[in-house]
Structures are given as structure tokens and as C-alpha cells.
Amino acid sequence: MSEEELAADVREADAASGRARADRGAAPASERSRVRRGMLFTVVGGALWGLNGTAAKFLMDTYAIDPLWFACLRELTACWLFLGMAWMRNREKLVGAVTSPKALVSILGVSLSAILFSQVAYLEAIDWTNSATATVLQSLSMVGVLCYVCVKMRRLPKRREALGVVMALVGTYLVATGGNPGSLSLPLGGLAWGGLCAAAAACLAILPAKQMKAWGNFVVNGLAFLMSGTILAVVYQPWAHMPQLDALAVVLLAACVVLGTFGAYGLYLEGVKEAGSLRASLLSTVEPLTATVATVLLLGTPFSPAELVGFALILGMVYLTA
């Protein structure tokens, strides 16, 4: 999950947190402790996202799991964890959303345009390339969000934002070609799905903001995951494409749902509330870093120096545009 996904609700949480601290006169030591705790939550959540991508790549390669089957499983299982949390933390909003036809239609739009798109694109990008490349290319969503903000606010990019875009373009070129302009280091399908993954992540960061502000993150994501998973199940029919799984595969699949999807998201969201949105967005770059290290150490995937420089440039873009 990555940072991406939550801007309006995050700003509201930051403001509410600031007002609460002002009301109770929080001591400097308590404040520092809260920020450190939030930073820890954000780093752990980002690391879980990165490891989740590596585990997904291992499962798809080893057990011939189709990305659509994987996406369907994740959505139809993780949705109940989101909804369970929504029921415990804000039951009134969950009931209100479920009983409001207008809210359900609005969340269905988010489900189709953001959740389904992002889940399928991310897993397809991993399947075509590897978790490190997919998560780094996903970080290019910051460029899409920046373009959206500039158009909406009718302004040109700031100097550091423009530099970030240039770094992103150069970084993508190095990742795609490995520094050799005469050939593609990535398969064309992988590059295409990586671009779609970035576009999907940008949609996920922009489109659900209004619904999340009205109903809360867990309500919107739980219902959107349920709707997306149901539609995908009807179209794809995962029961007709069941892979052969052993005990290890079942354990890894469960970890991808509980830790890599719900756990990572929950920790990141809590980190945003405790440490603030800016620190969280910067610290969440641990996701592609973790994915890169895990891909090299656990799966033995090699990267050329040019590709690593490209990764660094794209991550540098995140710092400049956040």
C-alpha cells in the first residue's frame, strides 16, 4: 500500500491530532514519543508492503498462480478484515454507508476505477517483472498526482517539483533500458503494466478522497474491496483456475492478506495519524527499498548498476514532490 491513497482524510487527521494536542497541552517528551511511534508504524507498514510484493512474485512463479486469481483472493478475504475494523471503530458510519444507495453507488465507482484497477495492475506488473521494479514504477504515481494538483490549482510545477519529474523520467529510462538505449531491460509487457500500475496508484490517491472523508477509510476500503472482488470473481471465475497449493503456499497467501494487505495498510494509516502525512509519505519509500533488497536476497534477482541508479532517481523524485 502504498502513500499514497488518502490525502484529504490524512489532512483532517493531522489537523484533529494537532487540535487534540493543543487542548491537552502535550509535553515535548510526549510529542516526540508519539512522532517516533508513528514513524515506526510507517516504516513497518511500508516494509510489509515491500515484502508482500516479493512473496506474491514467489507464489506466482512457483505455483503458477494467475495474477487475477491472486487479486480476487486478496480482495474477497481482506475486505472482511477492513469491514470488521470498521464495525469495531465506527459502526454508525458503516451502517450509514451500507443503507445509503447514493453512498453505495459512489463507492462502487471507486471500486471499479481505483481498487480493481490498482490491484490487477500491481500484481500483473510483479508477474511480468519483479516486486522491486513494480513497486519502484508504482512510485511514479507521484508524478500523476502532481499533474492533477497543478491542473486543478491552475499553477505550474514548482522548481523542486519540476526537478522531481525530470528525475522520474531519467530514472524510468534507466530502469527500462538498463542504460543501453538500443534495448529494453524490461519486457514490453512489464513496462506497460508498470506504467498502468503508476496510473492506478495515482487514481487510488485521488478518487476515493471524498468518500473516505464522508465514511472513513476502513468503511470505504472494505466495501470497495468486497465489490471489486465480487465483480472480478463473476467475470474471472477463480474456482475454474485453482492452482495446486501446498502448506507453504497457503501460509504465504494468508500472510499476503493479513500482513501484506490489511496489516500494512493499518500500520501505515496509524503512522500517518501519529507522525503526520509528510513524514509518512517520505518514510513509506521503505516499500520499494524493502522490495529491492528482498528480491535480491530471497529470489536472487540481479539488477544492473544503471537500474539501481534509476531506482534511486525515482525515489529521489518522491522526496522532492511529496
6-15, 136-145, 171-180: range with lowest mean pLDDT: 6-15
Q: What is the pLDDT of residue 71?
A: 94
Question: Lowest mean pLDDT: which of 28-37, 188-197, 272-281, 285-294?
Answer: 272-281
**Separation between Cα atoms, residue 252 and residue 180, nearest integer Å:** 37
pLDDT per residue as tens digits for the range 198-210: 888 888 778 887 8
Half-sphere exposure of 196 (CA within 13 A, CB side): 20
pLDDT at 140 over 80: yes
Give the confidence band of 56 by pLDDT, cuts at 50, 70, 90: very high
pLDDT at 209: 76
Least trusted range by pLDDT, from 123-132, 164-173, 248-257: 164-173
Complete DSSP assignment for 22-59: HHHT--HHHHHHHHHHHHHHHHHHHHHHHHHHHHHHHH
Q: What are phi and psi of 103, to 5 degrees?
A: -65, -40
Positive or negative, the CA dihedral 84, 85, 91, 93 is negative
Average pLDDT, the chain: 83
- Residue keyed to cell 541508479: 309
Lowest-confidence region among 9-13, 32-36, 163-167 = 9-13
pLDDT of 322 reads 63
Does position 277 have pLDDT exceeding 60, yes or no?
no
- Higher model confidence: residue 184 or residue 230? 230
pLDDT band at 6 (very low <50, low <70, confident <90, very high): very low
d(CA 94, CA 104) in angstroms, rounded, equals 11
Residue 99 has pLDDT above 50, yes or no: yes
Residue 297 has pLDDT above 80, yes or no: yes
The secondary element (H helix, E strand) that includes residue 142 is helix 141-153
Summarize the confidence of residues 266-278 as an average pLDDT. 70
Q: pLDDT at residue 5 above 50?
A: no
Instruction: Give the model confidence (pLDDT) of 187-199 as tens digits.
Output: 889 889 999 988 8
pTM: 0.79
- Rounded-to-integer distance, Cα 322 and Cα 317, Å: 8
